[in-house]
């Protein structure tokens, strides 16, 4: 009876769902884009597998933390349950994707796994807010676009070029949002990393467009992102709240994915 009461008194949402809202954008944008431009049954299940792996990470880290302490907390039962649920769902979705796959996609998985491992290791060391794990985690999540397009029969160059586009998008977004948040909190921080990241990113996109590995709409999308970054960290920027910056960045992410999708579909 006591165990049942303890279990039901635990808040499940903080266990079942990760707290970082920005991660959802990095997760869903490549999945939706991939299914728009390269729709397959296998790709759909790869997307489901990616979602469950994303959800699996948070309770896994909590479970490892409880094991390290050698204690059972009221949350421990639920943590282990969600690890099994998400892990099982991810495995089932991945196996179904393999069943329906008409082309290999292993290279995308092999590249994404080390990036995800770096992110998880930093999280376990309580250093998740550092720049390296944020970029590694976002880059790993973006890898679903390569897997989805590869399984649809795309060539390696085209699939990894699109993954590179989303990595550039993730890096510039992370640097920009970190700078904006520090400004909002009254911290004096240089804006040069934001300008540099967006400028380098824009010229990399120009190069990929010139090589004809990505559509011209990618250049348009990153031109818009460059303008928003220059204004967003300038002295003329309007004051706002952290939550608003997050919502704005999600909107820019959707716009970027739509422009990319149009470039591939039209």
Tens of pLDDT, residues 137-148: 999 999 999 999
- Residues 15 and 146 placed together within one structural domain of the fold: yes
- Residues 161 and 232 placed together within one structural domain of the fold: yes
- Residues 141 and 188 placed together within one structural domain of the fold: no
* CA-based nearest residue to 59, from 132, 153, 123, 144: 123
- What is the value of pTM for the model shown? 0.91
- Residues 28 and 132 placed together within one structural domain of the fold: yes
Mean pLDDT of the 168-179 span: 95
Query: By residue range, what is the domain housing residue 173?
Result: 156-266
- Residues 87 and 162 placed together within one structural domain of the fold: no
Residue 195 in contact with residue 230, Cβ under 8 Å? yes
Does residue 243 register a pLDDT over 90?
no
Among residues 100, 133, 154, which one ends one of the domains? 154
Strand blocks (E) in the chain:
none
**What is the percent of the chain where pLDDT is above 70?**
97
In which band, very low, low, confident or very high, does the pLDDT at 11 lie, cut at 50, 70 and 90?
confident
- Residues 53 and 113 placed together within one structural domain of the fold: yes
* CA-based nearest residue to 133, from 117, 146, 145, 144: 117
Least confident interval from 66-70, 117-121, 198-202: 66-70
- Residues 128 and 223 placed together within one structural domain of the fold: no
pLDDT at 132: 93
pLDDT at 4: 46
* CA-based nearest residue to 51, from 79, 92, 107, 81: 92
How do residues 196-230 score in pLDDT, each as one tens digit?
A: 999 999 999 999 999 999 999 999 999 999 999 99
Does residue 105 register a pLDDT over 80?
yes
């Amino acid at each position: 009876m006591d165990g049942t009461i303890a279990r039901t008194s635990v808040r499940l949402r903080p266990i079942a769902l990760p707290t970082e809202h920005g991660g959802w954008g990095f997760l869903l944008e490549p999945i939706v884009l991939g299914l728009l431009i390269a729709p397959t049954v296998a790709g759909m299940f790869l997307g489901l597998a990616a979602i469950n792996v994303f959800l699996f990470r948070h309770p896994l880290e909590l479970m490892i933390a409880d094991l390290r302490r050698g204690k059972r907390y009221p949350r421990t039962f639920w943590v282990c349950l969600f690890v099994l649920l998400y892990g099982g769902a991810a495995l089932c979705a991945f196996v179904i994707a393999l069943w329906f796959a008409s082309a290999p996609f292993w290279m995308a998985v092999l590249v994404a796994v080390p990036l995800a491992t770096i992110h998880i290791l930093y999280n376990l060391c309580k250093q998740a807010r550092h720049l390296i794990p944020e970029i590694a985690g976002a880059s790993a999540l973006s890898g679903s676009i390569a897997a989805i397009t590869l399984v649809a029969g795309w060539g390696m160059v085209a699939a990894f070029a699109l993954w590179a586009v989303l990595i550039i998008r993730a890096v510039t977004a992370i640097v920009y949002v970190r700078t904006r948040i520090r400004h909002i909190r009254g911290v004096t921080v240089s804006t040069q990393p934001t300008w540099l990241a967006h400028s380098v990113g824009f010229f990399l996109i120009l190069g990929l467009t010139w090589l004809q590995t990505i559509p011209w709409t990618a250049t348009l999308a990153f031109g818009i992102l460059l303008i928003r970054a220059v204004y967003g960290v300038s002295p003329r920027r309007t004051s706002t709240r952290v939550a608003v910056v997050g919502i704005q960045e999600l909107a820019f992410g959707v716009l970027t994915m739509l422009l990319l999708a149009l470039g591939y579909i039209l």
